[in-house]
Amino acid sequence: GENVEQHPSTLSVQEGDSAVIKCTYSDSASNYFPWYKQELGKGPQLIIDIRSNVGEKKDQRIAVTLNKTAKHFSLHITETQPEDSAVYFCAAGGGGDYKLSFGAGTTVTVRA
């Protein structure tokens, strides 16, 4: 089955700086890679996703890059703000069974 590894597990950044979270996956059949943000006491919120026919996607301050050859993808958050503090999860799926395999999560803290 698919195995997704996510690094780092915790990330502390100064407000205004950038944050980068990296994930690797094992199943070459995976073709869909979403990122979720989970705030305390809430369910995960889909913030951006990318499919394997695209190498990069951007939405305002967040961007995701995908390297299918190396089987890794990354989330970039620029100009971080206190409200960006949350747990971020990467996931991989689309191998035919439509389930998502999640990384273990990254706790991001933005220092004011």
Partner 1 sequence: EAGVTQSPTHLIKTRGQQATLRCSPISGHTSVYWYQQALGLGLQFLLWYDEGEERNRGNFPPRFSGRQFPNYSSELNVNALELEDSALYLCASSQRRNEQYFGPGTRLTVT
Residues in the chain: 112
Strand segments, DSSP code E, in 1-112 are 4-7, 10-14, 19-25, 32-38, 45-51, 56-59, 62-67, 72-77, 86-93, 100-102, 106-111
Among 10-18, 29-37, 55-63, 78-86, the segment contacting partner 1 (CB under 8 A): 29-37
Burial of residue 96, with CB atoms counted within 10 A of its CB: 0-12 exposed, 13-18 middle, 19 or more buried: exposed
Query: Smaller CB distance to partner 1: residue 27 or 78?
Result: 27
Compute the distance between CA of residue 36 and CA of residue 86 in angstroms, rounded to an integer.
Answer: 10
Q: Which of 105, 108, 109, 110 binds partner 1 (CB under 8 A)?
A: 105
The answer to whether residue 34 forms part of the interface with partner 1 (CB under 8 A) is yes
Query: Is residue 40 a contact point for partner 1 (CB under 8 A)?
Result: no
Q: Which of 84, 89, 108, 110 binds partner 1 (CB under 8 A)?
A: 89
Q: Which of 21, 24, 44, 85 binds partner 1 (CB under 8 A)?
A: 44
Three-state SS for 29? coil
Binding residue count for partner 1, defined by CB under 8 A: 23
Contact residues for partner 1 (CB under 8 A)?
A: 32, 34, 36, 41-46, 49, 89, 91, 93-94, 97-105
